[in-house]
């Protein structure tokens, strides 16, 4: 579960924004509306977005929910994209290292989603731009889908279920 921001910390972020930008009034109702739209975003991403706004926004107008959300989610998306490239490298290294290396459940799920399994992935050129993009898209879908990510992590904790997930695929590598 992502680092959920408390209402108290969120109120502090809103106070920082209020001190930095023009706003006639910051009522409890206003804070509640902002919180309702932004509470699903991990706390670290919200903190980073508020800090970015305070340090870079030129306009004195108080930021909208959409501005905060775009900044926070944009940072998170860049981190997921970077993770996808790291996972691509990890998957290609797994082809060399063999089955013992292929234990990352997210990499396994991305390989399965993008290429049908390790057998399909093993036939690709690691420099193939289309294949790398396809893997990246699959990885991002899996990582950003909280419910599926939770299922994958639970599978990883159950070694028998993980073995069943990858059974037969590692033999083709």
In this prediction, residue 14 carries a pLDDT of 93
- Cβ atoms of 49 and 71 within 8 Å: the answer is yes
Per-residue pLDDT of the chain (173 residues; tens, 9 = 90+): 457 899 999 999 999 999 998 777 788 899 999 999 999 888 888 998 899 899 888 888 899 999 999 888 877 677 778 888 888 888 888 887 776 456 788 888 889 889 988 888 888 888 888 989 999 888 888 887 755 556 566 555 555 554 555 555 444 44
In this prediction, residue 73 carries a pLDDT of 82
Burial of 164 (0-12, 13-18, 19+ CB in 10 A): exposed
Whole-angstrom Cα distance, residue 44 to residue 35? 15
């Amino acid at each position: 579960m992502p680092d959920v921001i408390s209402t108290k910390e969120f109120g502090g972020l809103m106070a920082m924004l209020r001190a930095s930008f023009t706003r006639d009034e910051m009522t409890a109702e206003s804070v509640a509306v902002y919180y309702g739209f932004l509470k699903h975003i991990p706390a670290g991403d919200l903190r980073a977005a508020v800090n970015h706004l305070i340090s870079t926004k030129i306009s004195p107008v108080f930021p909208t929910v959409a501005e905060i959300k775009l900044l926070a989610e944009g940072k998170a998306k860049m981190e997921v994209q970077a993770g996808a490239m790291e996972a691509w490298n990890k998957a290609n290294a797994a082809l060399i290292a063999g089955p013992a290396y292929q234990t990352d459940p997210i990499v396994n799920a991305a390989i399965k989603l993008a290429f049908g399994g390790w057998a399909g992935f093993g036939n690709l050129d690691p420099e193939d731009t289309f294949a790398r993009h396809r893997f990246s898209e699959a990885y991002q879908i899996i990582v950003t889908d909280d419910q599926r990510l939770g299922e994958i992590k639970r599978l990883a904790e159950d070694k028998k279920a993980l073995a069943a997930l990858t059974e037969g695929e590692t033999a083709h590598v």
